[in-house]
Each structure stands twice: as C-alpha cells, then as structure tokens.
Amino acid sequence: MYVEKLQEPVRVFVDFSGTKVRPIAFIRASGRRYDIEKVNLVYRRRVGDRYHWCFACSGESNTYILFYDPESLIWTLREIQMDG
C-alpha cells in the first residue's frame, strides 16, 4: 500500500441530506474529478479552538481522507491510500 500525505485544497460536490453532509466527488487542482463510491468513516478532529470534520472515503480502489472546516467552508485533501 502506498500512502501520500497532502494538504491540498479541493473542490467538493456534497449531498446535504437533512443534517448530514456527504461528499460525492472532489476535483483536485489538476482538474481531475474523483468520484466517491463510499464514505467509510466520519469523525471530528479538534484543531485549536474549533473542529474539522474528517471523511474517510473510497473510490477507484483508493481511500481518500478529506477534511472540512465548517467555519471557513474549506475542504482539504489530507491523504491518499493506494493499493499496489
């Protein structure tokens, strides 16, 4: 397994269903779109005096870790885990 740590701002397509937020796809700076097939885990992480939402998602046989800052409305790609 190959793991790449990042701190890359991304554009995210999101489904707001009731009170839940679910990422559907994201676009990196290169313009490539990555579709999310499944959200595996959602958790909050404390960053200073506020919280970021973390989404562990999978698609195209890879796993992506996306962070969402609800105060600044910024999404960040933090990690990609690739098989093989």
Question: Long-range contacts for 48-53 (Cβ within 8 Å, ≥24 apart)?
Answer: 53/21
Q: What does the pLDDT read at residue 28? A: 95
Residue 84 has pLDDT above 80, yes or no: no
Q: What does the pLDDT read at residue 21? A: 86
4-63, pLDDT tens digit by residue? 999 999 999 999 887 888 999 999 999 999 999 999 999 999 988 999 999 999 998 899
Q: What does the pLDDT read at residue 20? A: 84
